[in-house]
Amino acid sequence: MKNTIGNNLSVTLFGESHGEAIGCVIDGIAPGVTVDEAFIASQMEKRKGISSISTARREADRVKIVSGVFNGKTTGTPICIMIENSNTKSKDYSLIRNLARPGHADFTAECKYRGFQDYRGGGHFSGRLTAPLVAAGAIAISALRSKGIFIGTHISRCGDITDREFGKIKEDIVMLDSLDMPVLCEEKRKKMLSLIESVRAEGDSIGGILTTAVIGMPAGVGEPWFDTAESVLSHALFSIPAVKGIEFGKGFDFATMKGSQANDLFAVREGKTVTLTNNNGGINGGITNGMPIIFSLAVKPTPSIYKKQKTVDMMTKEEAELEITGRHDPAIIHRARVVADSVTALVLCDLLTTRFGTDYLGCD
């Protein structure tokens, strides 16, 4: 029952959706990393989403740092982060305790934990557990920025609406940082919002694709086989609730390309080795090549919908019908972008620490 990820810099999650608190422990972070509480708060706000198209559950999400930070800097000892749960409505879940919600982890949790799991609000499986990941990720993002490494994520697709691709990546990342609905094209942003509103009115939900770009990552980070940059990122990113697919660079489009089209040709620009294209998403042989890291995540529609669905009663083993109540998102993709940024930052910090040593991210 493992809730820890990372090698030299690790993160352990704890808590349940309707428990007293949720949180995480960061271990292995260098001393001297700046911890900006205002920046952490701003990242937490991004996760809350947009009121008109997000769950009505509103948590304050005040981040309490219990240990590992002194005078605004990391001490090098484990950082414990806690976030209280205050706005819970457990009755919404007690009424359907024995019904397996389609698309959720109710049935698999029952199989694994044999009925002892906290089922309220999805318990430990809930997307609520992404809140401490965002808090931890904010510290990691600050550390990376001090090294000239920047991360940004946009909704590249929602339903059948497609955003433009990254252009001038640094400028796009700066723009995305100020948006609650992270779409690069304003016209497409409006269309996506309208689509989400329409599926909400139907009692349904919608999914999409997030595309993340990382610039400033040095070449030579990652291992050639089981800890490749792609595999370590994928391991963590697949842990984000609702993520069901990932591709790097051209990804599945490689299936229709010839080698002459797919290969990224090398060149020298201003004394630096670069590639003329970036089809491989900044990674060759599992190791970063210095070009922007580009990957996309498939995010499934929110499984909690207000339409009647067929299911089973897990206690009686009889078929049943489910019609949920409560507070649920018609789409989570806009809220998930900051989670993708945060998890990416934590993984990159771990990779960099593994490559350059535990003090790499700390004070100079």
Q: What is the pLDDT of residues 234-279, one digit of tens each?
A: 999 999 999 999 999 999 999 999 999 999 999 999 999 999 999 9
**Over 80: is that where the pLDDT of 64 sits?**
yes
Percent of the chain with pLDDT over 70: 94
- Give CA–CA dist 330/49, Å, rounded: 11
Assign 50 a pLDDT band (cuts: 50, 70, 90). confident
- Give CA–CA dist 318/324, Å, rounded: 18
- Give CA–CA dist 191/172, Å, rounded: 20
From the list 348, 323, 245, 340, the residue with the least C-alpha distance to 47 is 340
Summarised one tens digit per residue, pLDDT across range 5-27 is: 999 999 999 999 888 899 999 99
DSSP letter assigned to residue 119: -
With contact defined as beta carbons under 8 Å apart, do 60 and 86 qualify? yes
Summarised one tens digit per residue, pLDDT across range 182-225 is: 999 999 999 999 999 999 999 999 999 999 999 999 999 999 99
Assign 284 a pLDDT band (cuts: 50, 70, 90). very high
- Give CA–CA dist 287/169, Å, rounded: 21
Which of these CATH numbers, 3.30.70.100, 3.60.150.10, 3.40.800.10, 3.40.50.170, describes 4-356?
3.60.150.10
Boundaries of every domain in the chain: 4-356
Q: Can you give the pTM of this predicted structure?
A: 0.93
Please tell me the predicted confidence (pLDDT) of residue 93.
65
